[in-house]
Chains A and B, each alone.
Chain A
Amino acid sequence: MLRKLVLLGLAAAIVGLCVFWFVTIPATIPASALAPYTPNAANGREMFYAGGCTSCHATPGQEDRTRLGGGLGLKSPFGTFYVPNISSDPNDGIGKWSEADFLTAMQKGTSPDGRHYFPAFPYGSYQRMRTEDVRDLFAHLKTLPPVQGKVRDHDVPFPFNVRRLVGGWKFLYLDGQPFQGDSARPAEWNRGAYLVNAPGHCAECHSPRTALGGIIAAQRFAGGPNPEGEGWVPNITQKGLGDYSEKDIAYLLETGQTPDGDSVGGSMTTVVRNTAQLTPEDRNAIAAYLKTLAPVEGPKKPEKSKKD
């Protein structure tokens, strides 16, 4: 009897492992899936700034934000991630990557050597980008200067350093769906919704997360504790931005200034360095979309301040 139970348990474990193995296979996009295409340089630049690549990939403390040598330490509850070099350098950056490699990274979160990227790289949002936009972005990245130097390994302790486990995270939180617009809404709203949810990846910081690091869908955009440590990320639903006009939001994205004469700080400062480079139409579209986000109560703040 005991023998049978042990055998049964063993069989269940093997089946479970097989299922886990199957479910967590890193997905890729084959080169054969890509039709011939001529990239649009202007759109590539717009995607580059909408995507905020430089916020994380520009080497810290460097004036020129287009030198993407990486190295920034991104703190998280799971350890510190060191942002890789995505400059056009053939050895240390992505100079040797194919278009399919880049699409696979952006939309499947899988590296050219077939490993899962940690979702500190916000492919949960980038997966929603249009393939053409990703191809234009790739073409733009190729025009930026090569920067030598490999970035150090992540400082992520066991068990989070087991890459295969990221496959489980993807199973839970990565749906592989492209952006879905709303044909009942104006074109500007749809553009804004796309910029915010796909390249802009605003929800990645402006939403609370589960203990496993997934965005809590019901509180998307409702802010929460800063994943990088101290401080609080603001609620950008109408609960938090009810007093902002569309013009106020667009002006903030251009200048970093809030309607009360304050300025944004922390990581948002680098975000604004990017959004300041977007076309005014795109900033207005983002503002138009954000103004339609229903008010959602975020996680409770640790201390109440009279000021807020």
Chain B
Amino acid sequence: MLRTVIAVAAIAIGVTAVAAQSDPIAARKALMKEQGAQTKIGAGMAKGEAPFDLSKAQAIFANYIDTAAKMPELFPPNSKTGGETTAAPKIWEDPAGFKAGFVKLSNEAKAAQSNVKDLDSFKSAFGGVTKNCGGCHESYRVKKS
């Protein structure tokens, strides 16, 4: 059983890695989409539309940390255009600034993971961490439609 799980996991990781290499635009879009889905869950709790759930809150920050680790590698020079990407040219003009944004996101998400205990601490941590979304989209994303 354990062997099967490991094998499946290994294949899954392998497939993801290959997908990331062969189609980085699709891979980063999928990551952003998942991050958006997680953020939506968080916003629902922060807005009071859904009850606060600590494990969901932790999963959101875990997703941010995971995304922040994977994203910087998904912008090779041959992925500047195509696939309806909204990546801004500035990503390749200022790679250091771009990567620093993910380090900041990751660090703040880690801090949030250890600070969040209830709805109030979640609201404040979530509000702070998600400032990074706009902080990065301000310069590194261009919506074309």
| Chain A interface (Cβ < 8 Å from any Cβ of B) | 230-232, 234, 247, 251, 255-257, 259-270, 272, 301-308
Contact = CB atoms under 8 A, between A and B. Distances in A.
A263 B133 contact: yes
A247 B84 contact: no
Nearest to A234: B143
B87 to A, nearest CB: 11
Interface stretch (B8-16, B38-46, B68-76, B112-120): B38-46
19 contacts: A230-B142, A232-B143, A247-B47, A251-B43, A256-B130, A256-B131, A261-B35, A261-B36, A261-B37, A261-B41, A262-B36, A265-B138, A266-B142, A269-B137, A270-B138, A301-B145, A302-B144, A303-B145, A304-B145
Interface in B85-142: 88, 127, 130-131, 133-135, 137-138, 141-142
A257 B142 contact: no
Nearest to B39: A261
A229 to B, nearest CB: 9
A265 B137 contact: yes
Given A231-B144, A257-B133, A264-B134, 5 more contacts: A259-B40, A261-B43, A264-B137, A269-B138, A303-B145
Given A232-B144, A261-B38, A261-B39, A305 B84 contact: yes
A265 B43 contact: no
A261 B40 contact: yes
Contacts of A261: 35-41, 43
Contacts of B35: 261
Contacts of B131: 255-256
What is the size category of the interface that chain B forms with chain A?
A: 20 to 34
Interface in B11-64: 35-41, 43, 47
Q: Is the interface of A mostly helix, strand, loop or mixed?
A: loop
A272 B133 CA distance: 12
Q: Is the interface of B mostly helix, strand, loop or mixed?
A: helix
Name which of B36, B47, B134, B141 has the most chain A CB atoms within 10 A of its CB.
B134
Given A263-B134, A264-B137, A257 B39 contact: yes
A256 B129 CA distance: 12
Nearest to B37: A261
A269 B43 contact: no
A303 B133 CA distance: 25
B143 A266 contact: yes
B143 A265 contact: yes
The 10 closest A-B pairs by CB, nearest first: A265-B137, A261-B40, A263-B133, A261-B36, A269-B138, A261-B39, A256-B134, A269-B134, A305-B145, A263-B134
B124 to A, nearest CB: 12
Given A302-B144, A303-B145, A260 B134 contact: no
A201 B41 CA distance: 32
B141 to A, nearest CB: 5
B44 to A, nearest CB: 9
Given A230-B144, A232-B145, A251-B43, A307 B84 contact: yes
Nearest to A231: B142
B104 to A, nearest CB: 14
A48 B130 CA distance: 25
